[in-house]
Chains A and B, each alone.
Chain A
Amino acid sequence: MSFNPNRLAVKFFTADETTIDLAQSVTVMQRWIQSHTVDGLLIDVIDYKHVPDGPGVVLIGHEGDYSLDQKNGELGLLYTLKRDASVSEFTGQLALSLQRALQAVQALSKDRTLKKPQFVTTDFELRILDRRTAPNTLEGLALVQNAVTRIFNAWGIGIAGLESAEADPRDVLTLRITAEVDLATVSEKFASDTVLA
């Protein structure tokens, strides 16, 4: 059975002591739309900073959304891949999501308005937003863990940690993945999987 979730998301967390002014991030993301700073068809910016531990500020795109997400009180850059015809399998979806998330992280970390926030790019959170193909069960977890392990092996990137990060079975299957290297420095290893052959 091929694993092809309807939607997935990748999150890189801010480094310790890093804070981001979410009100300012609205301005930054509006600028991203003006200048096409990040990939994808960019549509609008929506402000949810009034919602505790919520999506924060979201740049809505057609293929995917970029957000300064605060789920569980942990701030980070979340890229949610929704529908992108350029990738059809989990490998490509994961590669594309990582690539876009890293692109956004890079743009944020250079942004003077936001005081150049820093992110940790050895770790990331993977959410599978598709309870039909990957429910948050032991079986679902094994499926995704195996898939991620296979993919990272194919990329030649070692995994130091691969754990479930969401105990509530009702919530989406979520993994915390620690790579053996800084993913920002090895993104060329998964670049070729970001498009259909």
Chain B
Amino acid sequence: MTDQTWKDILQDKIRADWAREIDIFEGQMHLRRQAKIDEKVFAETRLRRGVYGQRYDNKQRHDGIQTQTLDFPTDLTKGPDTAWDAPGMQRIKLPYGGLNIEQMEVLAELADEYADGILHVTTRQDFQYHYIHIEDTPDLMRRLAAVGITTREACGNSVRNTTGCPLAGVCHDEAFDITPYAQALSDFFLGHDDVQDFGRKFKVAFSGCEQHACGLVKMHDLGLLAQTREIDGETVRGFTVYVGGGLGTVPHQAKVLAEFATQEELFALSQAVARVFARLGEKKNRNRARLKFLVAELGIEEFRRLVHEELETMPHDPRWTDYLVDVPEHKEAPVKQGFALNGVPVSDEFKAWYRTNVYAQRQSGYSVVTVNLPLGDLTAQQMFKLADIAREYVGDNVRTTVEQNLVLRWVSDADLPAVHQALTEIGLGTPGAGTIVDITSCPGTDTCKLGIASSRGLAGELRNRLAATSASLPDAIKDLKIKVSGCFNSCGQHHVADIGFFGNSRRSGNRKVPHFQVVLGGQWHDNAGSFGLAVGAVPAKRIPDVLDAITNRYVAERERGETFQDWVTRLGKKEVREMLKPFTDVPQFEFDPSFYSDWGDSRVYTIGDIGVGECAGEVVSLFSIEISKAESEHFEALIAIDDGDYELADQRAYNAMLLAARALVRTQFLDVGMDADSIVEEFRTRFYDTKIFFDKYAKGKFAKYLFNRYEKSLPRYDVDTAHQIADEAQLFIEACHAAEGRVNGLIAS
């Protein structure tokens, strides 16, 4: 029990730069409460901390009869049409899905204290909490940061979580373990200057092999496929670099940018790709702003040329190769010796689980156990118990997967029955991981503003039905992948499923009916090798029947060894459509009203609750994002004055001026350094000497505040000097705003 805040309690446990970042965000929240930060700018800054909106945060919700207005206590907003008090979502990045025991326990704690008691694993190996209040987010971030987890850039127009195969390091087929590379590149990109000015999100994935699915590199903006080559008698590590992949409304297969980039070349090449995207990517039309459109428009040859051109002009960064020192150090250690299972009697339940949830590692005597999470969800209590299981059997060798499960690596084979028993006791011993029962789904209309139909409702229904019959399912369909998205944006990755569904709606009379578009023949393996085709929309309530019809017919008609994808191709789109036809009719409301509500939602269905997604919100200029940091720093200066720490106030005020100057410089020159010398020099040359900074009345006066402080520290630290420097910083920031406005023609000179 304590009067101390979480900030006080954790101050020695958080990396200084991360602690600073969170303080800045907290300051920006305060400024937003005072309406001193524009709501669009604030929205982007909070997205870049993983603080997301949720459905109904526009204060409107249809209750099945009428739209109700949600009267939150304040009118304050956290973004355009986004109520401050409305529950939101917090996304948490885990590079390559890596987790340790301490992190598991803290994640569990936070679910209880700030969310609805549930942790949710996403299709990009993140965790998400739902129903979070924004006021709780700084402490939530601090508690995560204290155990090495950041939420920075989990959302927003920047580099999202870097995913990687959950079998990296233990896989039989990998070229090498991509884990240290995924971590290092994730660290390199985090907060990097060159990833702050994208028009949309940017997703990175690593894969250790070509033929399996795990990394899905071919559907990412930047996909890195581990390769080795023999060069001059030495085995050289590198990557095939893919660019411009992505699902979304219209999926694009990634193109090969480089057949083989060495590990020494990887970071520079990746950074060059980011710079080209920032420079040339679409920023006005959000629907065309992903990298895939730029690559498609330019063609891969031209894109490659531009990347190489960028490589030649980019300032050198020692971090491109510094990370290689740590790569050989990366080793996972089992906590127990690996022994064979050795004929010990086991139950039928164990056998069923073993068949689907256990992968024999290449390291003899060890296996990877997949913990099958229903719809990617688990409770805080389950997570605590899972941490105990990890502690006993595998140590810190836990990862999330893009199939919304968890894996425990380095389980001694002799311990498998005990692990199965322990998992069963906490409700996590369900077999069927990676099979047709293990359905992936995005949040859909449960919480997403863009959701059109209930993907989780459908996924839950299909899961229940398939689980009930799983023992008798024909072998031919047991391993089919089913994925469900709530809309066409494919967060559920329906394009790469054997059988995919995405939500839409159709009219019946003067009512709307939830439907799902059926997408068949996607290819999960070969790193998301190809995409399925939409073959027709079916009422949501008929989807289980459609699934039965499709799978029954496949089983009956498939030729020997014919894959589902090949069968769909052989059948042809026309015939598939015919197959769906009996299921497309919608009975009149009076005869069967159940069609007019969605799975798991008893309300009469409406599309009125669909809002503007924050992943497709308006682009905020780089200048706006960067000057908001200066404003936060200035705010911190004022806090320091209140606390009587005048020296700190001076430091903050001066830093605020430097950040503001840098924000202005970066409108012309992106590669200005972070040091005061570089910033002041560039500012002076580009904006003061040219008089661009001058306004009609004050001329260059406010620039002198920066120059004076740069040349000379304050003579003393007291309340007067602190106030003065803070005032000067405020005026300088305002002058930077005005200068930027004049340059962009928004303000008359």
Q: What's the minimum C-beta distance from A21 to chain B, rounded to whole angstroms?
A: 12
Give min CB distance, A166 to chain B, whole Å.
9
Known: A55-B116, A55-B118, A129-B113. A46 touches B70 (CB 8 A): no
Contact of A44 with B9 at beta-carbon distance under 8 Å, contacts A33-B68, A51-B118, A132-B2 already known: no
Q: Say whether A82 contacts B113, CB under 8 Å.
A: no
Contact residues of B between 54 and 103, Cβ < 8 Å to A: 55-56, 61, 63-65, 68, 70-73, 85-87
CA distance A105 to B524 in the complex (A): 48
CB neighbours (8 Å) of A155 from chain B are: none
Given contacts A43-B70, A170-B105, contact A140 B87 (CB under 8 A): no
CB <8 Å contact, B118 and A132: no
CA distance A6 to B1 in the complex (A): 12
Q: In this assembly, does A95 line the interface, its C-beta being within 8 Å of a C-beta of chain B?
A: no
A193 at the interface (CB under 8 A from B): no
Q: Could you say which residues of chain B place their CB within 8 Å of the CB of A96?
A: none
Interface residue count for B (Cβ, 8 Å)? 57
Chain A residue at minimum C-beta to C-beta distance from B135: A83
Q: Which of B146-171 contact A (CB under 8 A)?
A: none
Binds B, one of A10-18, A58-66, A116-124, A182-190: A58-66
Which of B5, B9, B55, B379 interacts with A54 by CB under 8 Å? B379
Task: Say whether, besides A34-B64, A46-B446, A51 and B378 are in contact (CB < 8 Å).
Answer: yes
Contact present for A62 and B72 (CB under 8 Å): yes
Judge whether B251 is part of the interface by a CB distance below 8 angstroms: no
Query: Within the complex, what minimum Cβ distance (angstroms) separates A45 from chain B?
Result: 8
- Cβ B2 vs Cβ A133 within 8 A: yes
Known: A26-B602, A53-B427, A62-B85. A132 touches B64 (CB 8 A): no
Nearest Cβ on chain A to B316's Cβ, whole angstroms: 46
- The reply to whether the CB of A48 lies closer than 8 angstroms to some CB of chain B is yes
Q: Is B463 an interface position by the 8 A CB rule?
A: yes
In the docked arrangement, what's the CA distance between A62 and B460, Å? 27
List A contacts of B9 (CB < 8 A).
132
B55 touches A51 (CB 8 A): no
Smallest beta-carbon distance A133→chain B, Å: 6
Are A6 and B113 in contact, with the CB atoms below 8 A?
Answer: yes
> Do B64 and A1 have beta carbons less than 8 Å apart?
no
A168 x B384 contact (CB < 8 A)? yes
Q: How many A-B residue pairs have CB under 8 A?
A: 121
Task: Indicate if B334 sits at the interface (CB-CB under 8 A).
Answer: no
B67 to chain A, nearest CB (A): 12
Contact digits for B619-661, partner A, Cβ 8 Å, 1 yes 0 no: 0000000000000000000000000000000000000000000
Given contact pairs A26-B602, A132-B6, A135-B1, A53 touches B379 in the complex (Cβ within 8 A)? yes
Our pick among B6, B64, B65, B109 for the contact of A170 (Cβ within 8 Å) is B109
Given contacts A53-B427, A54-B377, A170-B109, whether A41 and B71 have CB atoms under 8 Å apart is: yes
Q: Provide the bound-state CA to CA distance between A30 and B597, in Å.
A: 12
B375: A residues at CB distance < 8 A: 50
Contact between chains at A34 and B381 (CB < 8 Å): no
Q: In the complex, what's the smallest C-beta–C-beta distance from A22 to chain B, in angstroms?
A: 11
Docked complex Cα distance between A3 and B1 (Å): 9
User: Cβ of B377 and Cβ of A1 under 8 Å apart?
Assistant: no
Would you call A71 an interface residue if the criterion is a C-beta within 8 Å of the partner chain's C-beta atoms? yes
Asked whether, in the complex, the Cβ of A55 is within 8 Å of the Cβ of B70, the reply is no
Q: Is the CB of B601 within 8 A of A53?
A: no
Contacts of B1 in A (CB 8 A): 1, 3, 133-135, 139-140, 143
Do A52 and B116 touch across chains, with their CB atoms under 8 A apart?
Answer: no
Q: Would B113 and A130 count as touching, CB distance under 8 A?
A: yes
Find out whether the CB atom of B87 lies under 8 angstroms from the CB atom of A43. yes
Question: What is the 8 Å Cβ interface bit string for chain A, positions 126-162, against chain B (1 contact, 0 not)?
Answer: 0001111111000110010000000000000000000
Q: Which of B5, B72, B378, B603 touches A41 (beta carbons < 8 Å)? A: B72
- Which residues 14-49 in A have Cβ within 8 Å of B in the complex? 26-27, 30, 33-34, 41, 43-48
Q: Is A7 an interface residue (CB 8 A)?
A: yes
Residue pair A43, B56 in contact (C-beta under 8 Å): yes
Question: B64 contacts which chain A residues (CB < 8 A)?
Answer: 30, 34
Known interface pairs A54-B377, A143-B1. Does A60 touch B116 (Cβ–Cβ under 8 Å)? yes
Q: Which residues of chain B are within 8 angstroms of A131 by Cβ–Cβ distance?
A: 109, 113
Task: Give B202 Cβ to nearest chain A Cβ, in Å.
Answer: 31
CB-based contact A34/B63 at 8 Å: yes
Q: Does A180 contact B (CB under 8 A)?
A: no
CB distance from A50 to the nearest CB of B (A): 4
Interface flag for B542 (CB, 8 Å): no
Greatest chain B CB density within 10 A among A30, A33, A53, A62 is at A62
Q: What's the least CB distance linking A73 to chain B, in Å? A: 10
Nearest A residue to B83, CB-CB: A62
A30 and B603 contact, CB distance less than 8 A: yes
Residues of A within 8 A of B136 (CB): 6
Query: Could you mark each residue 552-583 of chain B with 1 if its beta carbon is under 8 Å from any beta carbon of chain A, else 0?
Result: 00000000000000000000000000000000
CB distance A44 to B377 under 8 Å?
no
In the complex, whether A196 has a CB less than 8 A from a CB of chain B is no
Whether A30 and B384, one on each chain, are in contact in the complex, defined by CB atoms closer than 8 angstroms, is no
Bound-state Cα–Cα, A54 to B70, Å: 27
Contacting pair B87 A60 (CB below 8 A):
yes
Distance in Å: Cβ of A120 to nearest Cβ of chain B: 22
**Residue interface mask B1-19, A partner, CB < 8 A = 1:** 1111110010000000000
B176, CB-defined interface residue at 8 Å = no
Least distance between B600 CB and chain A CB atoms (Å): 5
**In the bound complex, CA of A46 to CA of B130 (Å):** 10
The answer on a CB contact under 8 Å between A172 and B112 is yes
Q: Could you say which residues of chain B place their CB within 8 Å of the CB of A65?
A: 116, 131
Interchain CA distance A6-B105 in the complex, whole Å:
20
Besides A27-B602, A52-B427, A172-B113, 17 more A-B contacts (Cβ < 8 Å) are A30-B603, A41-B71, A43-B87, A46-B446, A48-B118, A52-B426, A53-B379, A71-B379, A85-B73, A129-B112, A132-B5, A132-B9, A170-B105, A170-B108, A170-B384, A171-B112, A171-B384
9 example contacts (A-B, Cβ-Cβ < 8 A) are as follows A6-B113, A33-B63, A43-B56, A43-B61, A55-B379, A62-B72, A65-B131, A133-B1, A143-B1
Closest 6 CB pairs of A and B: A52-B427, A27-B602, A50-B374, A34-B63, A54-B379, A47-B600
